């Protein structure tokens, strides 16, 4: 039976460290600030934004929320981003995705100053991640690394399989594992012999967005299984990309859904914002 990797526990440790460092900065008159922009009334986006606001309070940051109507134009949003870029009280800018269809997401991401891009989506930051010389890491992959580290297992030399190749999770996830000397295979919808490849993985990261996609016959005995998926079943229950009930019997370590990767994403966002504040005050 697999040991459970608790995202709640690991994220609490990360936030406690951030809170401690923030208290020291506040003594020097520096208070990190995070601006979150939400356009429209997407219920899932609203939940995320509220969680981010709550996390800012927990760690002692200033939190600025900009809730714009659904019909906001791209020009109006870019104007706001420009204003936040030039606001010294704002260290990090996060624009909640998805955006309404009249707005080009890439144009907005590219407009955020790289040193305030705490999501690490800007091409400048993506390039720095590729060469291993980064200030910020994308929050979800960075959170996954913390969860793997919490097991005490050394990534170096391990066979690592990432299912999914999105710009937000799959691609950066594979780079982080590679930087830690994992031997990485990226799988996707065109991959042949997917089950066979997964069965060889010491570390398996599922980020595909399909409920219960990873079954027990795809998992090596004793593997670390990280489930990034968040899917809602017809009965309203949340589940991940991994068939938890059956894979748990075979894996060495496994993350639950909810309570696994989810809490880590927000904790790493706080860590990135703290890093940005230190950079803006020439402390790193």
Same-domain pairing of 248 and 164? yes
What is the rounded CA–CA span in Å between residue 166 and residue 188?
Answer: 10
**pLDDT at residue 41 tops 90:** no
**Segment among 4-8, 11-15, 53-57, 232-236 with least mean pLDDT:** 232-236
Our answer to whether residue 96 is catalytic in this structure is yes
Indicate if 241 and 156 belong to the same structural domain.
yes
Residue 283 lies in a domain: no
Q: What span, in angstroms and rounded, lies between the C-alpha atoms of 253 and 226?
A: 8
Domain membership flag for residue 121: no
User: What length is written for the chain?
Assistant: 284
Any domain includes 252: yes
| Selected catalytic residue, list 96, 117, 171, 220 | 96
Mean pLDDT across 94-110? 96
Any domain includes 267: no
Q: Is the pLDDT of residue 88 over 90?
A: yes
100 and 147 share a domain? no
Same domain, 181 and 95: no
Decide if 220 is catalytic: no
Asked whether the predicted pLDDT for residue 183 surpasses 90, the reply is yes
Tokens 């981010």 -> residue: 52
pLDDT of residue 232: 86
Q: In the predicted model, what is the mean pLDDT of residues 35-42?
A: 94
Residues 149 and 256 placed together within one structural domain of the fold:
yes
Residue 42 is among the residues annotated as catalytic for this protein: no
Query: If pLDDT is split at 50, 70 and 90, which confidence band does 45 have?
Result: confident
Please check whether residue 92 lies inside any domain of the structure.
Answer: yes
Pair 162, 196 in one domain: yes
Tally of domains in the chain: 2
**Can you give the CATH number for the domain in which 77 is found?**
3.40.50.10860
Write out the residue range of the structural domain in which residue 256 sits. 139-261
Do 180 and 95 reside in the same domain of the chain?
Answer: no
CA distances from 13 to 19, 50, 55, 193 (A): 10, 21, 13, 39
Read off the pLDDT of each residue in 67-82 and give the average, rounded to a whole number.
97
**118 domain-assigned:** no
The verdict on 175 and 93 lying in the same domain is no
CA torsion sign for 72, 78, 83, 89 is positive
Lowest mean pLDDT among 13-22, 37-46, 181-190: 37-46
Strand partners, 227: 206
Supply angle C-alpha 256, 273, 238, rounded to 5: 20
Amino acid 237: pLDDT: 86
Compute CA distances 86 → 35, 54, 80, 112, 136, whole Å. Answer: 12, 25, 10, 10, 20
135: left (phi over 0), alpha (psi -120 to 50) or beta: alpha
Residues 98 and 165 in one domain: no
Rg value, the chain, Cα: 19
Are residue 157 and residue 244 in the same domain, yes or no? yes
The domain that holds 159 is classified in CATH as: 3.40.50.720
- In this prediction, residue 44 carries a pLDDT of 83
Q: Are 242 and 227 in contact (CB under 8 A)?
A: yes
Identified catalytic residue from 91, 115, 117, 119: 119
State pLDDT tens for residues 128-162.
Answer: 999 999 999 999 999 999 999 999 999 999 999 99
Say if residue 43's pLDDT is above 90: no
The pLDDT value recorded for residue 277 is 98
Distances (CA, A) of 17 to 59, 101, 127, 204, 267: 9, 39, 28, 28, 10
Indicate which residue of 52, 116, 158, 171 is catalytic.
52
- Tell me if the pTM is above 0.85: yes
How many whole angstroms separate alpha carbon 28 and alpha carbon 30? 6
Residue 40's pLDDT is what?
94
* Predicted local distance difference test score (pLDDT) of residue 201: 98
pLDDT over 90 (residue 243): yes
Share of the chain above pLDDT 70, in %: 100
Above 90 in pLDDT, residue 196?
A: yes
């Amino acid at each position: 039976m697999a040991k459970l990797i608790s995202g709640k526990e690991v994220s609490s440790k990360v936030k406690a460290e951030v809170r401690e460092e923030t208290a020291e900065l506040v003594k020097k008159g520096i208070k990190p600030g995070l601006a979150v922009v939400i356009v429209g009334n997407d219920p899932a986006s609203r939940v995320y934004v509220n969680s981010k606001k709550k996390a800012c309070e927990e760690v002692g940051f200033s939190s600025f929320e900009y809730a714009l109507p659904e019909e906001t134009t791209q020009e109006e949003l870019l104007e706001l981003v420009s204003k936040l870029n030039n606001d010294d009280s704002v260290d990090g800018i996060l624009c909640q995705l998805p955006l309404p269809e009249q707005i080009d997401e890439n144009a907005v991401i590219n407009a955020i100053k790289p040193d305030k891009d705490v999501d690490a989506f800007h091409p400048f930051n993506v390039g720095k991640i590729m060469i291993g010389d980064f200030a910020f890491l994308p929050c979800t992959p960075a959170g996954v690394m913390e969860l793997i580290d919490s097991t005490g297992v050394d990534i170096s030399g391990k066979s690592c399989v990432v299912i999914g190749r999105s710009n937000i999770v799959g691609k950066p996830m594979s780079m982080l594992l590679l930087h830690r000397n994992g031997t990485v295979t990226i799988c996707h919808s065109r991959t042949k012999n997917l089950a066979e490849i997964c069965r060889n993985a010491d570390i398996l990261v599922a980020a595909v967005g399909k409920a219960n996609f990873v079954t027990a016959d795809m998992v090596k005995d004793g593997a670390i299984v990280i489930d990034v998926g968040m899917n809602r079943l017809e009965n309203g229950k949340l589940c991940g990309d991994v068939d938890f009930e059956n894979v748990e019997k075979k894996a060495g370590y496994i993350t639950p859904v909810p309570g696994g990767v989810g809490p880590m994403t927000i904790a790493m966002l706080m860590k990135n914002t703290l890093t940005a504040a230190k950079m803006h005050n020439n402390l790193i």
